[in-house]
Amino acid sequence: MRINFRGSGFGVRGWGAMLPALFVGLLALAGCRQDMHDQPKYIPLRPSDFFGDGRSARPLIEGTVARGHLDDDVAFQTGKGPDGKFIDTFPFPVTKDVIERGQQRFNVYCTPCHDRLGNGSGMIVRRGYRKPPSYHIDRLRQAANGYLYDVISNGFGAMPDYAAQIQPRDRWAIVAYVRALQLSQNASLNDVPPEGRAQLPGGGR
């Protein structure tokens, strides 16, 4: 089989101009050795003879704090005061935005068991899961805010903890919303400001 380069303009001179580029390319390929893939390194938990304890992974220096995890506000992180007792306040101002955020998180994580009103008749409870107590019983209405926060963080009874799913600020927002739920289900006419009573069914009578 003959290949005719006549008229193509790619003759001997053209090949001569290509040779240096081909030579450089071959040198580059020769430099890509398997050693670049098999680098000397330690994967997690692989032993090492370099250190006296035989471990390649080194222990953290005392006092090391992961970025974003200083956690120096004990009340905010644990719901407890310096005396180790649950606080009955909030570690930041409770605004309308905070309560609305709490409602949104509550509807995502809490309603499957507690239902939207906090009566403990959520969908999975109707399908056989253990029924939680209503938020509206005296014991939980009188419980400290820090106690509710602690239950969300660490779980209680059949309820698992939600520390991995819900960030600390959102846990407090849920507590604030639970307080709003409790008030809504146990409020009297005297709890409604006079200017808002006209909006109630029957004009608040």
pLDDT at 88: 97
pLDDT at 163: 95
Residue 137, in any domain of the structure: yes
Q: How far, in Å, CA of 86 to CA of 88, rounded?
A: 7
Residue 183 buriedness (CB in 10 A; 0-12 / 13-18 / 19+): exposed
Number of domains comprising the chain: 1
Cα angle, residue 64 at apex, residues 58 and 70 outer, rounded to 5°: 145
Amino acid at 61: I
Residue 16, in any domain of the structure: no
In this prediction, residues 89-118 reach a mean pLDDT of 97
pLDDT at 1: 53
* pLDDT tens per residue, range 116-175: 999 999 999 999 999 999 999 999 999 999 999 999 999 999 999 999 999 999 999 999
Residue 151, in any domain of the structure: yes
Instruction: For residue 88, give the CATH number of its domain.
Output: 1.10.760.10
**pLDDT over 70 (residue 34):** no
